[in-house]
C-alpha cells in the first residue's frame, strides 16, 4: 500500500509539472497542508491517508513552521529519486510497522530493561517500547514496574499506582493472578486508547524486604502471557536485588539502557553485563540489545567506540573484589547492529503521559527498529542460573 501511495504522489507531482496552472494548484495544495498542519498526529492505523495527507506530511513535518509558496522550489530541490525526504521517512515507518506486526503475530517476549546505574533511561525505554508495540500490533502489552520508587513507570503512561495492582499483590496472592483476558483490565489499569496494562511498584510505606528472588520470579511467571501478549519489566538500580535478578531470570530478552550524555550509564552497561554473566546469564547477555537515549545524531558505530573507550579506560570489579582492567566488548558479543540510538525527544523529556503519536517521527522509527530487532531473535527461556531452583516452561497464547 505504501508503494502505491508513493507512486500516486509522484504521478500527481508530474502532472503539476506539465500543467500551465501548476503554480495555482501548488499554492492550493500548500494552503491545504497549512490548514492541516496543526494536527501533528500520525495515526498509523489509518495509513497515509491519500495525496493531501501525504503532501502535509512531506511539506509540513511535526513542529515545522508553515511553508510559503515561495519555498516550493527549495522543497522540490530536496527530491531524491522523485520522493521527498519526509515521504521516505513515512515509508520507512509504514514498512517497520508492517514488519513488526508480522514478527510479533506468533512470537512473544518478556523483556527486562536493566542497568545498575540510576538515571539510565530504563523507564522511558520500557514505557515507549510497550506503547510502540501496542500501537503497531494492537496486542495487549504488560508493563511491570519492578523498582522501589515513586511510581515513575505507571506515571509515565498516565496511570496512578493506587489505581492498579502492584507487584506485591501478585507476590502475596499466587492464586489470584491466573486470570483470563476479559478480566485483566479489572486488575491492572491501562491508559485510554491503549492496551498497555500497568503493574505498579510497591505502594507507599511498603518495601520488598524479606521477599526472595524466587518469589519474584514466580510472580513474573504468573503474569507472563495471562491476558497480555508480551511483557516489559522496568528494573530498578543494582544488579543483585531480588526484583532485578528475578526479572533477568524470567526474561527472554535483555535490554541494557543508557543515555549518551552520561558516561557512568555507559559504564553501567558493561558493569551490569559483567554481573549477570558471572551469575550464569551469559547466553542472554550475549544476545542482549542496547538502547542509548538522548542521542543527537550519534550513530551505532559511534556509540560502539564510546563503549570501547569505557572498557579500555575503566577498572571493573569482579564479584565485588577482583579487579578487571582488560574488559573487551567481545566478551559480551557487543556489535554495532545491536546498539540502537534513541533521539532526544522534547515530548519524552517533558514527562507527559506516553503517546506514540506525540513523539517525533525519528523517535518512532528508532523504537520500531529496536523492536523489530528484538522480535527477529529466537526466543530462549532457558533458566541458566542453577541457584534459582526454578525452570519455567515456554508458554504460548491459547
Distances (CA, A) of 230 to 102, 156, 161, 167, 398: 15, 19, 20, 17, 14
Q: Distance between CA 323 and CA 18 in Å, rounded?
A: 72
More confident residue, 391 or 60: 60
What pLDDT score does 356 carry? 93
Q: Distance between CA 250 and CA 385 in Å, rounded?
A: 11
Q: Distance between CA 115 and CA 120 in Å, rounded?
A: 7
pLDDT digits (tens, 9 = 90+) for 247-269: 999 999 999 999 999 999 999 99
CB distance 247 to 111 below 8 Å: no
Per the domain annotation, does 9 fall within a domain? yes
More confident residue, 392 or 187: 187
Q: Distance between CA 37 and CA 56 in Å, rounded?
A: 7
Distances (CA, A) of 296 to 260, 300, 372: 9, 12, 22
More confident residue, 270 or 312: 270
Side-chain half-sphere exposure of 47, counting CA atoms within 13 A:
10
CB distance 376 to 103 below 8 Å: yes
Per the domain annotation, does 391 fall within a domain? no
pLDDT digits (tens, 9 = 90+) for 169-178: 888 876 666 6
What is the band of 221 on the pLDDT scale with cuts at 50, 70, 90? confident
What is the band of 139 on the pLDDT scale with cuts at 50, 70, 90? confident
More confident residue, 92 or 57: 92
Per the domain annotation, does 279 fall within a domain? yes
Which three-class secondary structure state does DSSP give residue 133?
A: helix
What pLDDT score does 151 carry? 73
What pLDDT score does 11 carry? 57
Residue 297, number of CB atoms within 10 A of its CB? 9
Per the domain annotation, does 278 fall within a domain? yes
Looking at the structure of the chain, the number of domains it has is 2
Average pLDDT, the chain: 76
Q: Distance between CA 390 and CA 110 in Å, rounded?
A: 17
The yes-or-no verdict on residue 216 having pLDDT over 60 is yes
pLDDT digits (tens, 9 = 90+) for 69-123: 445 455 444 444 444 455 677 888 989 999 999 999 878 889 999 999 999 999 9
Residues 87 and 157 in one domain: no
What does 158-180 look like in DSSP terms, one character per residue?
A: T--GGGS-BHHHHHH-TTS----
Which three cell numbers mark 88? 521516505
Residues 221 and 360 in one domain: yes
Q: Look at residues 290, 295, 306, 294 and name the one whose alpha carbon lies nearest to residue 256.
A: 290
CATH code assigned at 204: 3.40.50.300
Per the domain annotation, does 398 fall within a domain? no
pLDDT digits (tens, 9 = 90+) for 290-332: 999 999 999 999 999 999 999 888 776 655 555 666 788 999 9
pLDDT digits (tens, 9 = 90+) for 28-38: 555 554 554 44
Residues 48 and 169 in one domain: no
What is the band of 208 on the pLDDT scale with cuts at 50, 70, 90? confident
Residues 213 and 281 in one domain: yes
What pLDDT score does 298 carry? 94
What pLDDT score does 13 carry? 52
Which three cell numbers mark 58? 512531506
> What mean pLDDT comes out for the span 11-21?
53
Which three cell numbers mark 74? 527549495
For residue 64, what are the domain limits? 2-97
Per the domain annotation, does 58 fall within a domain? yes
More confident residue, 146 or 206: 146
Residues 177 and 233 in one domain: yes
What is the band of 46 on the pLDDT scale with cuts at 50, 70, 90? very low
> What mean pLDDT comes out for the span 45-71?
45
Which three cell numbers mark 251? 526474561
What is the band of 222 on the pLDDT scale with cuts at 50, 70, 90? confident
Helix (H), strand (E) counts: the chain: 16, 9
What pLDDT score does 136 carry? 93
pLDDT digits (tens, 9 = 90+) for 344-377: 999 999 989 999 999 999 999 999 999 999 999 8
Residues 78 and 178 in one domain: no
Q: DSSP label at 151?
A: S
Which three-class secondary structure state does DSSP give residue 331?
A: helix
Phi and psi of 44, rounded to 5°?
A: -65, -30
Residues 291 and 158 in one domain: yes
Residues 115 and 240 in one domain: yes
What pLDDT score does 91 carry? 84
Instruction: Please state the length of the chain.
Output: 398
More confident residue, 133 or 183: 133
What is the band of 382 on the pLDDT scale with cuts at 50, 70, 90? very low
Give first-to-last CA distance, the chain, whole Å. Answer: 31
Q: Name the region of 298 (left: φ>0; alpha: ψ -120 to 50; beta: rest).
A: beta
Residues 195 and 171 in one domain: yes
Out of 65, 97, 129, pick the residue that ends a domain: 97
Per the domain annotation, does 55 fall within a domain? yes
By the 10 Å C-beta count (0-12 exposed, 13-18 middle, 19+ buried), 62 is classed as: middle
Out of 33, 65, 97, pick the residue that ends a domain: 97
Per the domain annotation, does 394 fall within a domain? no
Residues 199 and 70 in one domain: no
Distances (CA, A) of 222 to 162, 207, 226, 395: 21, 21, 7, 11
CB distance 92 to 100 below 8 Å: no
Residues 85 and 165 in one domain: no
CB distance 341 to 75 below 8 Å: no
Residues 56 and 174 in one domain: no
Bridging pattern class, strands 253-259 and 110-114:
parallel
Q: Distance between CA 365 and CA 97 in Å, rounded?
A: 9
What pLDDT score does 395 carry? 35
Out of 59, 78, 97, pick the residue that ends a domain: 97
**Consecutive H or E run containing 234:** strand 230-235
Q: How far is CA 194 from its chain centroid?
A: 15
The yes-or-no verdict on residue 387 having pLDDT over 80 is no
Amino acid at each position: 500500500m505504501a508503494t502505491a501511495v508513493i507512486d500516486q504522489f509522484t504521478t500527481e507531482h508530474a502532472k503539476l509539472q506539465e500543467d500551465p496552472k501548476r503554480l495555482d494548484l501548488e499554492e492550493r495544495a500548500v494552503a491545504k497542508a497549512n490548514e492541516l498542519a496543526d494536527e501533528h498526529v500520525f495515526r498509523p492505523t489509518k495509513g497515509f491517508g491519500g495525496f493531501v495527507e501525504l503532501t502535509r506530511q512531506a511539506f509540513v513535518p511535526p513542529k515545522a513552521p508553515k511553508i510559503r509558496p515561495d519555498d516550493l522550489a527549495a522543497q522540490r530541490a530536496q527530491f531524491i529519486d522523485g520522493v521527498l525526504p519526509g515521504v521516505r521517512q513515512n515509508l520507512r515507518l509504514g514498512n517497520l510497522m508492517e514488519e513488526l506486526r508480522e514478527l510479533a503475530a506468533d512470537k512473544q517476549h518478556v523483556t527486562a530493561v536493566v542497568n545498575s546505574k540510576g538515571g539510565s533511561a530504563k523507564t522511558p525505554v520500557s514505557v515507549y517500547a510497550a506503547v510502540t508495540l501496542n500501537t503497531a500490533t494492537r496486542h495487549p502489552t504488560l508493563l511491570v514496574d519492578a523498582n522501589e520508587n515513586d511510581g515513575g513507570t505507571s506515571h509515565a503512561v498516565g496511570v496512578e499506582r493506587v489505581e492498579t495492582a502492584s507487584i506485591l499483590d501478585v507476590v502475596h496472592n499466587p492464586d489470584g493472578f491466573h486470570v483470563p483476558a476479559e478480566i485483566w483490565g479489572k486488575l491492572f489499569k491501562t491508559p485510554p486508547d491503549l492496551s498497555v496494562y500497568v503493574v505498579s511498584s510497591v505502594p507507599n510505606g511498603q518495601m520488598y524486604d524479606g521477599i526472595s528472588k524466587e518469589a519474584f520470579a514466580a510472580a513474573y511467571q504468573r503474569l507472563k502471557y495471562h491476558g497480555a501478549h508480551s511483557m516489559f519489566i522496568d528494573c530498578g538500580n543494582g544488579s543483585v536485588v531480588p526484583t532485578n535478578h528475578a526479572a533477568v531470570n524470567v526474561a527472554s530478552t535483555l535490554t541494557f539502557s543508557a543515555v549518551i550524555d552520561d558516561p557512568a550509564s555507559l559504564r553501567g552497561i558493561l558493569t551490569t553485563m559483567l554481573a549477570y554473566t558471572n551469575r550464569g546469564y551469559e547466553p542472554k547477555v550475549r544476545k542482549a540489545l542496547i538502547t542509548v537515549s538522548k542521542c543527537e545524531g550519534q550513530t551505532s558505530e559511534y556509540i560502539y567506540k564510546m563503549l570501547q573507550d569505557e572498557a579500555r579506560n575503566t577498572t571493573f570489579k569482579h564479584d565485588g573484589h577482583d579487579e578487571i582492567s582488560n574488559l573487551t566488548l567481545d566478551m559480551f558479543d557487543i556489535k554495532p547492529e545491536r546498539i540502537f540510538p534513541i533521539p532526544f525527544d522534547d515530548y519524552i523529556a517533558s514527562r507527559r503521559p506516553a503517546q506514540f503519536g506525540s513523539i517525533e517521527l525519528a523517535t518512532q522509527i528508532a523504537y520500531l527498529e529496536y523492536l523489530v530487532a528484538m522480535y527477529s531473535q529466537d526466543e530462549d527461556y532457558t533458566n541458566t542460573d542453577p541457584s534459582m531452583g526454578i525452570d519455567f516452561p515456554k508458554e504460548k497464547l491459547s
